[in-house]
Structure 1
Amino acid sequence: MKPSTPVAFHTSWKSWLSLQQPSLAAKMKYSSPWKSMEAFVTVRHRDEEIEMTRMAVRFELEDMNMRPDPEPLLTEMIHAAAYRDNTVGLDRFCPVENIEKMDRNILHSYLKNYYTPDRMVLAGVGIEHEQLVECARKYLVGVNPVWGSAKSKDIDRSVAQYTGGIIKVEKDMSNVSLGPTPIPELTHIMIGLESCSFLEDDFIPFAVLNMMMGGGGSFSAGGPGKGMFTRLYLNVLNRHHWMYNATSYHHSYEDTGLLCIHASADPKQVREMVEILTKEFVLMSGTVGEVELERAKTQLKSMLMMNLESRPVIFEDVGRQVLATSTRKLPHELCDLIDNVKAGDIKRVVTKMLRNKPAVAALGDLTELPTYEHIQAALSSKDGQLPRVYRFFR
């Protein structure tokens, strides 16, 4: 490893290390961080540690399927629908049947392929550059990792292929929130469309658009700082009392992106809820008011600056940007890019986005869920309305 090779590191090293090896982080409570990094690459993965990790994974999978907030599960489903059987559409959570298959050999094979110098970033916050380089030379150069230093050979370099589609999971949601005041049974819908990667110029307009849509839960309290003037609050939650949630999310990767809206309502209201979401998508391509655009840009800059007041966030920002783009844009540069977003930019990126097939994830009682073809037709229409369905019997 060359001295200039980047490796992820920060003064809050224990929190980073615990993500990689929890038991190791606990044992190194009083060790120097650089010694800890050196030990991490030479640690032996004992059988009892692997078994403890298997138990933790089983618990987390059970908890994810029982918790009242299904957002992590829906996010997994919307990616599977949008990128069917490829790249970011593959399982992010370990399937239950694979837990017992994980052993030391598989772990070492993975580490050998992906924990290589050219895939790492050395990020230092609150430390002099010369001292950082000297520590890297002392503790990282010449260290032979336990998984071996042979050249990696099984790196997956596939480019994400957006497919669109629908993933439906019929599930009884009446018992996910047990207690004296359980929440009502809800059906959860997430609709998404392909946006762009974080390397494209349109990434900033999409970030502003996501902030302009905003949203949240119907029970959320607060003022303008919490997004009470965003479109999903004004047009959805404030007008439809039976909607429990309407939130916009933007997931962006090196080669693709996904803008989606998550909504929750009573199972009997699912069709109407879906139509409300399709209308909001179509309305994105309409007129953008100067006031709401400036508000969204101000909120985005405010969130950016507040997050960068935290030293761990600065570290993560440095590491992620350098790892993804080989450089780092400073906060004032990002603020200038945000300020340069015009209403025409929002309309342009939305018009392009609406040409794609939608991705749909549905969880709960799906009796009233419209067909995928009807959802696609609504997003392609001028008003976002679902095709009418006539029934002889109700």
Structure 2
Amino acid sequence: MYRRVNAHATAAVAAAASAAAVQVRAISEYKFGQAPLTTPWSGPSRLSSPTESKSVSDQKVKVSQLHNGARVITQQRDGAMVSVGAYILAGPAYDPVGCPGVHGLLHLALTTSNYNNSLFQLDREIRSTGTAFSHFEKDKHFICLRLDARADMWRSQKTGKKDDKNQFTLNLVQDTIFTAIAAPRFHETDIERFRDTVDNNLKEMKWQAPEEYAIQRLETVAFHKEPLGNPRHVPENNNGNITNKVLLEQYAQYVTPDRVIIAGVNVNHDELITEYENTPYTHSINAPHHAAFANQNRATSFDVNKENNQYTGGEAHEHENRAKEMGTKPDMDNETIVAVGYLSFGRGMTSIKRYAASLVYQQLYNILIQDCFRGAFGGSSNGVRSFYLPYQSAGLIGFTARSEPENIVKMVTAAMRDMQALKLDDAAAVERAKHRAAIEAMDRNWNTVRDLCDYMGTSLPLTSMAQNSTQYMKPEEVLDAIRAVTPAELKQVKEAAMGSKPSLFGHGEMLAFPSLRQMGF
């Protein structure tokens, strides 16, 4: 049986529902979370129509140096997602002597509360807009804070009108990055809550990505007690020694405006500069905490143009019964993971040709061991895999080997013999290696907006006082250098590697593993 519907009653119900909807939307006046999706976004949209096309000149990279010494580099590609990051010259290589891992807690502490926002406010803004926020270290020299957001949400939406204060507004980049590096708090409770996190991250890398763990530990052996030998992670035995006082001193000494590079992709260059300069707390080298260290005339403890002098070589064994430690003997057999490295060249502006030759040399070795192209996220598996870690003027090239204890010695010995016997006169193999090197360089550095932002932020000269401080190493220059690699340049890479003492780090079942001398190396 059907019911008769009264039109007047329906209209009354609709009016009541509309009034209720207005009341629901009014909660945005309290600025709790994102503005309701039923209301249009107050800011202008940055998205262009599909029919519009930009000239190549509009997409060129722009670099500026600001009055306080900070540098800004951007590229407008008219994409739907924006990546903005701050790349600070305060990485592992600048950790205090005897206190490794400070950088690891420093870039984490910068993401907590600052003098303009609490940790809750920062977290609310990030979550309510679907933004991704990352913090990490890169190339042993940089710590990075990066924000990935929608193209219409990354900057301030204030219009200056009278009723603008009643509208939901955002200052994502100012709050999460610019104010964080200009006026951090380093509140003790904010730091203590993350100590277990960094310990767990180290253990998770050790068990989930044992090859990556071996490579990071290999760096501490290859550059023993040198700045480049500082670990990329926070050692468990030094976690509790990194207090907020230590972090504040490290920040005051190294997080100065002239050591900060602001990079942005899919943003307007002038708009990004405006956001930086209009931050509530300006970043100045004349601030008391920065000036206190400037008056002490503390110079950099090493020359980035002579990083090869830090290479010492050596070996270290870390024995553990992985199956017993994990308590999963039925599911995990005993295994050994070994990383072997040699001295190579970096990716600085002055060594771009040798950097390209090192990339090709790595791919020549991959062809010899019949390894496929793996890209940036190769995962973890048994067998031999190559790696190449470029710094500024030096680098580390080598391989990892993972296998059962009874096979690992033979596998490592054969891989080291292959590295020594690598032939450079096969023209066809060299051409294939160039093609593979170009593909891997694009995949690791320019494949996504995030990758491009990281590359741009770390591809300017380290010092802002140099004449070429705004000179950017273009991707086209790297690709052209890869295509132009000659056998003579490959020979330089091989001579640098074979002329250095090999470095080795192994973990897992290492009781029966011989030393390099016993293996004939």
TM-score, length basis structure 1: 0.78
Structure with more of its chain in strand, by fraction: 2
**1:135 and 2:225 are equivalent in the alignment:** no
Distance 1:53 1:337, change over 3 A: same
Match among 323, 334, 350 for residue 478 of structure 2: 334
User: Does 1:207 find its partner at 2:359?
Assistant: yes
Structure 2 counterparts to residues 183-194 of structure 1, below 5 A:
183-194=332-343
More relative contact order in 1 or in 2 (CA 8 Å, sep 6+)?
A: 1
Q: Does the C-alpha gap of structure 1 residues 186 and 8 become closer, same or farther in structure 2, counting only changes over 3 Å?
A: farther
Counterparts in 2 of 1:191 and 1:347: CA distance versus 1, 3 Å: same
CA RMSD across the alignment: 3.2
Deviation (angstroms), 1:47: 2.6
TM-aligned CA distance change 1:140 to 1:330, over 3 Å: farther
Residue of structure 2 in register with 1:385 after alignment: none
Among 122, 147, 164, the residue aligned to 2:313: 164
Number of aligned positions between the proteins: 353
1:248-300 deviation digits (Å, cap 9, x = unpaired): 1111112421111101121112321222112111122x244222222221122
Q: Match of 2:438, as an amino acid?
A: K
The offset of 1:123, in angstroms, is 1.6
Gaps of 5+ in 1: 215-229, 236-242, 379-394
Further displaced range: 16-25 or 127-136: 16-25
Secondary structure of 1:202 counterpart: helix
Q: Distance in 2 between matches of 1:105 and 1:34?
A: 26
What corresponds to 1:359 in structure 2? 503
2: CA distance between counterparts of 1:82 and 1:39? 37
Matched, 1:247 2:385: yes
- Is 1:5 the equivalent of 2:157? no
Which of 312, 316, 338 in structure 1 is aligned with 2:454?
Answer: 316
1:62 counterpart SS class: helix
Partner of 1:121, secondary structure, is: strand
CA contact (8 A) 1:169 1:362 kept: yes
Name the CA distance, whole Å, in 1 between partners of 2:361 and 2:416.
16
Residue 9 of structure 1, CA deviation:
9.0
Distance 1:180 1:60, change over 3 A: same
Q: Encode CA deviations 1:369-390: one digit per residue, 9 max, x unaligned.
A: 2322244x44xxxxxxxxxxxx
Partners of 2:245 and 2:288 lie apart in 1 by 9
Residue aligned with 1:251, SS: strand
2: CA distance, partners of 1:128 / 1:277: 49
Output one character per residue of 1:286-333: Cα deviation in whole Å (capped at 9) or x when no partner. Answer: 244222222221122223345524222221111100154832222222
Alignment match of 1:269 (pick from 407, 413, 426) = 407
1:33 aligns with 2:172: yes
- Give per-residue Cα distances to partners, 1:143-171, cap 9 Å, x unaligned: 46998332535564224411111111111
- Residue 87 (1) aligns with residue 224 (2): no
Give deviations 1:205-238, integer Å, cap 9, x for gaps.
Answer: 0111112323xxxxxxxxxxxxxxx222269xxx
Q: How many angstroms does 1:343 deviate by? A: 3.0
Match for 2:357: what amino acid? P
**SS of equivalent residue, structure 2 residue 278:** helix
Partner SS for 2:460: helix
Residue 70 of structure 1: aligned partner = 210
Q: Is this contact kept in 1: 2:178–2:276, CA < 8 A?
A: no
User: Which structure has the bigger radius of gyration?
Assistant: 2
Rate the CA distance shift 1:20–1:209 in 2: closer, same or farther, 3 A.
Answer: farther
**Residue 364 of structure 2 aligns to which amino acid in structure 1?**
M
- Residues 1:21 and 2:173 aligned together: no
Residues 300, 342 of structure 1: CA spacing in aligned structure 2 closer, same or farther, 3 A cutoff? same
Contact 1:8–1:120 under 8 Å retained in 2? no
2:197 counterpart letter in structure 1: A
The yes-or-no answer on 1:343 pairing with 2:487 is: yes
Which letter does structure 2 place at the counterpart of 1:52?
R
Correspondence 1:298-309 to 2 at 5 A: 298-306=435-443, 307-309=445-447
Do residues 150 (structure 1) and 291 (structure 2) align? yes
The answer on whether the counterparts of 1:81 and 1:165 sit within 8 Å (CA) in structure 2 is yes
Is the CA contact (8 Å cut-off) linking 2:85 and 2:263 kept in structure 1?
no
CA distance in 2, matches of 1:42, 1:234: 48
Per-residue CA distance 1:23-51 (angstroms, 9 max, x = gap): 74424326323421343132423232111
Contact map agreement 2:371 2:385 (CA 8 A) in 1: no
1:142–1:352 CA distance, 2 compared to 1 (3 A): closer
Give the residue type in structure 1 aligned to 2:174. Answer: K
Give the deviation of 1:203 after TM superposition: 1.4
The alignment's TM-score, normalised by the length of structure 2, stands at 0.61
